[in-house]
DNA sequence: TATAAAACCTACTAAATTAGTATGGATTAT
DNA sequence: ATAATCCATACTAATTTAGTAGGTTTTATA
């Protein structure tokens, strides 16, 4: 279990999808503008998310990405595991056979901790976030057609 | 809250100190040998840990590092915060004033998540790990004089 | 008191990861 | 046909992680 800005980008992008789930697909250009992440980098992240079945892409105009399954079934762990590579954290995987005895003891303890952390984040689903009162406000403000049209004239700050 | 191999090194090194707490100070050379981390890198990490009061150094022969406070009072969060720099994760700190409205909403949600994670890891102390049955076995095996002498003739693999 | 073990300190370099750029193709609504 | 969008690959830049090198200071102990 690793947690870096890369994972944060993926999680916040997925939150975005969850928030607008009923408004139809969200384009990466939107997320890029809204969250200040480069478009191509997002594409790389979403390639992974797609491979893991967490999102599905819709091609062509009006397309974008939408969640690959209900937000209740997508956990924070799922997202992080999808984008961060495996990390193979100790060689011996906590089997404590990598250097007989003490050397591996701390690896074993670390693996226990890592496992607890994973389970903790696995217990938090995307669905929890869209229940946030702030989210409901935003979400209500944008009916699907309005947001669709708005998406066609994005603010275009400077994020390519 | 960030979680990288750097944080892992610090946590496992601290576990080492906690395990051998009653055996007198543990040298960085030992940890370097046992865990395969370079000595100088450990020195850098321990400089931080010392600044945070999590460890105290004992100079001279027979010296090393020991815990700066009881293992019950040192949480995993404490350790990670000490070594990983702040990460200033979103500019606006979840105040949602960094770009009026939606842009910041996901930041806000991320901060909530980050906070929950922090609290989770803050609830796990070093003391919990040394209760592990494997640990007690190792710990019992090494009385203080034996380990002291052993430390003077380290295995010296290749870690400088 | 000389010696060596260790912490402590600083500057530099190497490796890995994260992030971004560039370019083009494939699909599809309009 | 056009343009919006996903999709894919290759490359570069920036940042972080990790290690190297060279010291100094402190201190137990022979």
Cβ neighbours of B109 in A, within 8 Å? 12, 15, 129, 132, 135
Asked if B52 reaches chain A (Cβ–Cβ under 8 Å), the answer is no
Asked if A12 reaches chain B (Cβ–Cβ under 8 Å), the answer is yes
The C-alpha atoms of residue B68 and residue B42 are separated, in whole angstroms, by 17
What integer pLDDT is reported at residue B133 of this predicted model? 76
Across the interface, whether the CB atoms of B109 and A129 are under 8 A apart is answered yes
What integer pLDDT is reported at residue B9 of this predicted model? 94
The C-alpha atoms of residue A120 and residue B45 are separated, in whole angstroms, by 27
Residue B6's pLDDT band, with cuts at 50, 70 and 90, is very high
Which range (A10-19, A107-116, B50-59) has the least confidence?
A107-116
> How many residues does the structure list for chain B?
160
Across the interface, whether the CB atoms of B11 and A110 are under 8 A apart is answered yes
**Is A136's pLDDT higher than 60?**
yes
Report the alpha-carbon angle B128-A88-A16, nearest 5.
Answer: 85
- The 3 state secondary structure assigned to A48-112 is HHHHCCCEEEECCCCCEEEECCCHHHCEHHHHHHHHCCCCCCCCCCCCCCCCCCHHHHHHHHHHH
- Top-confidence residue, B36 or B56: B56
**Is B43's pLDDT higher than 50?**
yes
Residue B35's pLDDT band, with cuts at 50, 70 and 90, is confident
Cβ neighbours of B3 in A, within 8 Å? 1-4, 117
**Of all helices (H) and strands (E), which one includes residue B55?**
strand B55-58
* CB B1, CB A3: distance < 8 Å: yes
B32 CA to D17 C1' distance (Å): 16
Q: Which two tokens stand for residue A118?
A: 């994973």
Across the interface, whether the CB atoms of A138 and B105 are under 8 A apart is answered yes
- Give the mutation candidate from B88, B102, B108 for the A interface (greatest A CB count, under 10 A): B102
Residue B62's pLDDT band, with cuts at 50, 70 and 90, is very high
Task: Report pTM.
Answer: 0.84
- Residue B51 to chain A, least CA–CA distance (Å): 23
B61 CA to C2 C1' distance (Å): 15
B103 CA to D14 C1' distance (Å): 24
Q: Which nucleotide shows the minimum CA-to-C1' distance to residue B39?
A: D19
B47 CA to C13 C1' distance (Å): 21
């Amino acid at each position: 279990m690793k947690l870096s800005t890369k994972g944060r980008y993926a999680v916040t992008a997925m939150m975005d999808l969850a928030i607008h789930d009923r408004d139809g697909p969200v384009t990466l250009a939107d997320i890029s503008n809204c969250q200040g992440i480069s478009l191509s980098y997002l594409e790389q992240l979403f390639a992974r998310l797609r491979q893991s079945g967490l999102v599905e892409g819709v091609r062509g105009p009006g397309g974008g990405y939408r969640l690959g399954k209900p937000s209740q079934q997508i956990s924070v762990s799922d997202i992080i595991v999808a984008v961060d590579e495996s990390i193979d954290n100790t060689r011996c995987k906590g089997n404590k056979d990598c250097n007989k005895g003490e050397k591996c003891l701390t690896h074993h303890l670390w693996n226990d901790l890592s496992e607890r952390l994973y389970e903790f984040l696995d217990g938090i689903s995307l669905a929890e976030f869209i229940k946030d009162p702030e989210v409901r406000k935003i979400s209500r403000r944008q009916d699907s057609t309005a947001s669709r049209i708005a998406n066609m004239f994005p603010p275009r700050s400077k994020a390519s």
